[in-house]
Every structure is written in C-alpha cells, then in structure tokens.
Amino acid sequence: MKTAPLKGTRDYLPKEVRIRDYLQNTILNAYQDAGFSRITTPIIEDAVNLDKSDGGENLNLIFKILKRGKKLDRVLEMDSISENDLCDMGLRYDLTLPLSRYYANNRNSLMTPFKVIQMDRVYRAENPQKGRLREFMQCDIDIIGDSSMNAEVELILTTAKALKLIGIEQFTVKINDRRILADIFKYCGFPEESNERLAIIFDKMDKIGLEGVNAELKEAEFSSEAISSFIKLFSDETLTIEQVAKVCDNTYIQNLQYIMDTVNALSDGSFPIVFAPSLVRGQGYYTGTIFEVEALGYNGACAGGGRYDNLIGKFLKEDIPAVGFSIGFERIFGILMEKNEPIPNQKQKIALFYNQEDYINALKKAEELRNSYMVSLFFRPKKLGKFLNRIEEADFDGYMVYGEEDGIKIFQS
Amino acid sequence: MKTAPLKGTRDYLPKEVRIRDYLQNTILNAYQDAGFSRITTPIIEDAVNLDKSDGGENLNLIFKILKRGKKLDRVLEMDSISENDLCDMGLRYDLTLPLSRYYANNRNSLMTPFKVIQMDRVYRAENPQKGRLREFMQCDIDIIGDSSMNAEVELILTTAKALKLIGIEQFTVKINDRRILADIFKYCGFPEESNERLAIIFDKMDKIGLEGVNAELKEAEFSSEAISSFIKLFSDETLTIEQVAKVCDNTYIQNLQYIMDTVNALSDGSFPIVFAPSLVRGQGYYTGTIFEVEALGYNGACAGGGRYDNLIGKFLKEDIPAVGFSIGFERIFGILMEKNEPIPNQKQKIALFYNQEDYINALKKAEELRNSYMVSLFFRPKKLGKFLNRIEEADFDGYMVYGEEDGIKIFQS
C-alpha cells in the first residue's frame, strides 16, 4: 500500500484545514452578502460534454473514467481500441462547463439573471513535476442572463471585496475585451481564422516578453508586415485606451470605460482598475470582456474571468449571455499560510486531561465548557509537559487538568 | 451535449444548497466543539490502495481512472488487456481508507490519540435505477490511537449531539461487537473460515427476516445442526446481553456494558443505547465494536460505524487502534428537505431593484444594507409583481425598490 497521496494531490493537516475553511467561509459570506446563491454540481461529467467544451488546452488534461461491467467487456473485445471507446465519464477541469450544463438543465427553477456561487474542486492532469496541483479548489461567481456591463461591474466589486476580506489588500484589476484583440489582429493584417493561434502566442507575453512573441509569430510564419505592425503597436509601453480606440469598434471601448468608471465610483480608489490591451486569458470559450486581478507580491494572476456568451448555447438552442470571475484559491492559500496570522473570531481550542476514575465527570465538565471553547478530552499522559508542547504545536490554545484547582490555562504566544 | 447530470449524481438548487450548507456547518461545529479536528484528503487515490483495502462489496463499485499518455499507449499495444492494466487511480468509495493512508503518511505531525473530522464526497458505481446516488456526502468522526472504550463513548455522544442539533430528535443507538458475532458462530458450530460469508447473510436479517436467513444458510450448505442452533438462539426476540454472555468471551460483554453505562450517564436518557446481537454492519475491515443509529421515521440506519484496528497496519508496519462513526448525510438531507423548515440564524436575503440612471447610488445603498442583509441587485423589471412571485419562490425574504420611500418590504409567509 502507498502512504503518500497521489502526485499533484495533497493531504491537508488540521492547521491547514482551519485556514482553508476560514478563507472559504469568508469568501462565501462576501459572495452571499452580494446576493449570489450557491449551487453544487457533480465532480463527474459525461465524457461527451467535456470533450466538446472549448476548454482550450485543458481538454488535454482531463482525467477519464473507465467504463464498467458489460460496457467495458464489449470494448475490450474490439480489434482496435481507442481512448474514447474506453471511457464514458471524466472529472471536470473547471466549474464553468458544469455551470453551463446546470443552467440549461435547471433554467425553469432559476432566477433571471442568475447570480451564482460555485466553490468546489476541479481536476487537471497537469505535470506534477512542475509543482502543479492536479486537484484544486476554485471559487467562482457568475452572472447568467445579463448582457449589460452591470454584470461585469458587480463581479469585479464582489471579487475585490472578498479579496480584501481575506487579507489581499493591494491589487490591480486589469480589463480587456477579446473582440478588441480580434480587431487589433485584423487591423495589423492577420487572417481572421488565426485569431486563436495568435491569442495563444500573445498570452505568453508576460513570460517571454514582446521579443519572444515576435520570434514565435515569425516561427508560425505569419506575414512579416502583419507581425511588424503588431509589434510596433505594443512596443509603446503606455499604449492607451484612446490609441487602441482608433483601431477597433468603439462600442467595446465604451463598454470598458463604463465598467471602469462605475467600479471607480464605488471603490473610492481603494484599488485601481486599468485597461490592459495585452491581456488574453487562456480559455477558448471567452467571447467579450476578460479581466484578472494582479496582487502585490503574487506572481501571475490571483483571480481571473470573462464573458462567455456562447457556451450555454451549446446545451440550449439559444445563446444566453454569461460572465464569470474566479478566485485562484490555492495560490492565495499558499501565501496566507506563509504569513501565519491567527484566524479571527474563532472559539479557543483547549485540551481537558482526565484520570480514568473521573471520566464521567470530566465528560460533563467538557460539555459545560463547550459553550465557550472547543474542548478535546485526553487521558492524562505520564509526561504532561512534553504532551503540552505537542498540543501547542498542533494548534491548541490552552488546556485544563480535570480536578486541579487552577482551571483553564491559555498558552502565551 | 447532455443537459442532465450523470445518472446517480445530482445538481443542487440554491434552496437545497442553503440547507445542505446549514446542516454541514451545524454538524461540523458540533464535531469541532467536541475537540475533533478537520482534515481533507484527495478524492482520487492510488488504484493499488483501493483494490487491497478490504472494502467488502464496495470494491466492485470503484470508479477507475484511465492511464494517460505513453503509459496508456503501452497498454493499448498489449495483446490482451485487463481492467487493471488500464487504470492507475480511482475515486474513493469511503473516507476511512483515505484516513488510514493519511494517518500513516502524516503520523509525526498529528496528535495521539488523533480525533479527526472528515466531511466530504465519496463515489460508488451503484445501480442508479434503484435510486442510489453515485456521488454523495459522508460526515465522519474517527479516533485513532486509542484502544480504550472511551473512544467509542465520545464518538457516540458527539454523533448523538450533532443529530439532535440538526433536528433528529428521536433515535436509538444500537451496539454490538464483531467478535461476539464470531463467538456465536463458533458456539453454533460453524467453521471459523466462514465468518465473513455468515456475516453477509446475517446482515440481511432486517430485510429478509430470520426465515430468510435460515433459507440462505441452508442454500449455502452449512451443517443443519449449526443452522438450527443459530436460528434457535435468535428466535428469542428478547435475546439479552446476559444470555449472549454465556456463549462468548466476557471481555467483549464488559466493554459494551461500559460503553452503555457511560453513555447513559451523560445522555440523561435523552436517547436509548441498546445491545443489538443481530447488528452486523457491512464493511470487511471492522474488527471489534460496531454501532449504528436508527431514527424514528427513517428506514434503515442514519449513522453507523465501528472499530477497525487492522486497517492502518496495512500502511504501517504496526497495527494502530482506530474507531469511527459516520452520519449518512444524504438520507438526513432528504428527510429535512421534506420538512421544509426555515434555516435558523441566517441573514435575510432581499432584492434591490434599480433603474439604470440610479445604478451607482443603488450599488452604494446595497453596500450599506449588506451589514444586515444579503442584497441582490436587479434591474427593475417591467412586470414587477410577477417577478416578486419568482423571487419569493427562489427563497428571497423580501425586496426594496431603490428611490421609493417605503424601504424594505419583507414577504409574509
């Protein structure tokens, strides 16, 4: 038997789970206060839904579930077997695809617009050697059925509030529109059918810089005129919304301006929201606005999202506007674990030591104390001092020995 | 694309999730107050661990995950392919196996005894045509490293308290010991190596009655003397602990008596705890005490557990005593959904309607109100009355129209 968890998955210790639960509850409360409703969907999805979902590179990272019983026997008898023959389900790689299916399935029982929370686990067969998790938590809010930019405004304000409540104080919201990107590509002279390939290359800008993008565009054999026009545009590091406005449809610019103005009116400048013409976001299903949060001291984005007006249409016969924002929970958890700050507003946790002959009375005493404390009973160990060190490390706040006069002693830290 | 969730899995609506979250939080708080610490383990486990885990019939219900990339290619090139060749992981079928692996993996960072909470999803490829869920929630507490019967006492008291807090008022705790069963089988003259087969048959007593058990024992061709001795013993419907004591090791009886006396001293008779000589519990890994909760109005058990002193030894070189108690969350959720009682101690949820020209001020007003209410903003619909019906159904408690004098209106129900 193997004692370690599978590569890319983690066992969480009690101390870690207390922090994870605190963070999740704080985020959930912020979302609920803002009028969003929580739903849950299954972790397993039909293989067909996953395969046809426009998930971009994530489609190569799906954990697939083997067929069972006679269904499997029939496949194993075939002369030539492919991966798809063997599987009928898979683990979801994000929460947006299941949400789209959910909305299509439950539409008649839901409000329009539907303001929805999902906080749950997703799975990707990432390379664990690069330190990537294969099982991780996402915290998403989405608004379905609202084509107005007010949906974006509320997602941004609500996400910003949640981040502040969990201790992420300094951050910038970056915003762009996939259609602005498409207009820029067109303006530079790239062929329209290359938009997705172009986006994938341009998305690497943060890692490989503009020169790297230039090299990859050349390698992909795009016309040199288009490439130089594109590189020229983005070599201006202070490329403004006014400059971009000259080369793209003005509605998109007005949308972004409305979002930024409204968010600014509410945030009182407590966080900046800026136009970021080089923002791409990886998912294939985004159709309009895209945004992410960059926080001080974090490498890469700690939240991201965008509008995906065509995804629900894959399940229904009509398109439904939709937009979502997802907090990268695991990254934030990692940083806050390092900070090691106490969890606010929790009952203190104490150990109550007893001798066997006092057990019933100690149980009664514990039950009394539980109105004010979390109380864990322990048989009094021979070496109490050594044991006290262990419980302090294990995040107990204090202890009491049943029958001794001096009551509860809280550790000084 | 398929809009329905996979058979045996469920989409939960906002109303349902509010109740599920409330129940889970209430149970979690009861567990934590009693000094248990929450951990989490991955939903995916190594296939080897699952296959060798003594999970009884659950081993036939494991969802297995297909190998990926080159590992899969190599298998597909083989002349003859078996199920096990194709898979390297699976979805856990309970929380006890992952806990045993977790304890072996993290032992040096954990307290002894380790009082632990797990509340999470498990997966079984049950037949969905029988209405069985394939993805469901379990709420477990376990005590690892305590061989004394105090561990059983605390599990029973804590589970009973959690059940009362979520509204299960009238229930009986039934208790037995696997070793008493084994002694009874031996006393009746069955061969020792048949214990597991005997337990599987006897476990059906609730469904098929003593006559059904008699028939199945005959069908399995056990000696007719042993069968008639066994049936005679259990045809006494008031079979007492004293009578059973005559045919089994007395230590087991004393253990049960200690557990019952101590629990009774603490429960003040608020629930009965009774010796149940026909209690079996299905899992193959139980080694000693077993127990379950039968609640008024529930068919079958709504919580169950027992001692599994050998399971952790499969991961470590030494055996570690362990005992656990699991609440059958889904069954309880089903019953409480039908009762349809309001959730205590929650902020009320209101809709705030706005016209576009007031949007920024309405956002500010909503932010103020969020100290006391959950506030969801809606663009003022043309037919407000009809919309109000919908939000009341969707579990809003009231509404307010921005700019109108009369403030918040709470629905009367």
Q: The complex's ipTM?
A: 0.92
Mean pLDDT of A324-333: 94
Mean pLDDT of A43-51: 95
Give the closest-approach CA distance of B274 to chain A in angstroms: 19
Residue B282: predicted pLDDT: 77
Residue B349: predicted pLDDT: 94
CB-CB contact of B96 with B142 (8 Å): yes
User: What pLDDT digit, counting tens, does each position of A346-357 carry?
Assistant: 899 999 999 999
Give the closest-approach CA distance of A309 to chain B in angstroms: 17
Residue B369: predicted pLDDT: 96
- Among A235, A277, A271, A227, residue whose Cα is nearest residue A252: A277
User: What pLDDT digit, counting tens, does each position of A257-284 carry?
Assistant: 999 999 999 998 899 999 999 899 877 7
Question: Do the Cβ atoms of A38 and B45 come within 8 Å?
Answer: no
CB-CB contact of A205 with A278 (8 Å): yes
Mean pLDDT of A101-130: 94
pLDDT above 70 for A5: yes
**What's the CA gap between A147 and A155, in Å, rounded?**
13
Give the closest-approach CA distance of A104 to chain B in angstroms: 6
**What's the CA gap between A336 and A23, in Å, rounded?**
9
User: What pLDDT digit, counting tens, does each position of A71-100 carry?
Assistant: 999 999 998 899 999 999 999 999 999 999
Among A43-52, A61-70, B28-37, B50-59, the minimum mean pLDDT is found in B50-59
Q: What is the mean pLDDT of chain A?
A: 93
Question: Do the Cβ atoms of B378 and A104 come within 8 Å?
Answer: no
User: What pLDDT digit, counting tens, does each position of B160-209 carry?
Assistant: 999 999 999 999 999 999 999 999 999 999 998 998 889 889 988 888 99
Touching B: A residues 189-228, CB under 8 Å? none
pLDDT above 80 for A181: yes
Residue B276: predicted pLDDT: 93
Element (H, E) at B275: strand B273-275
Mean pLDDT of A329-335: 91
Chain B residues whose CB is inside 8 A of the A17 CB are 37-40
CA A312 to chain centre: 20
**What's the CA gap between A330 and A124, in Å, rounded?**
14
Question: Do the Cβ atoms of B1 and A370 come within 8 Å?
Answer: no
Residue B320: predicted pLDDT: 96
β strands within A178-220, DSSP E: none
Q: What is the mean pLDDT of chain B?
A: 93
Chain A residues whose CB is inside 8 A of the B374 CB are 32-35
pLDDT above 70 for B235: yes
Structure tokens at B307: 């001692």
CB-CB contact of B188 with B213 (8 Å): no
pLDDT above 70 for B413: no
User: What pLDDT digit, counting tens, does each position of B313-366 carry?
Assistant: 989 989 999 999 999 999 899 888 888 787 887 899 999 999 999 999 999 999
Residue B250: predicted pLDDT: 92
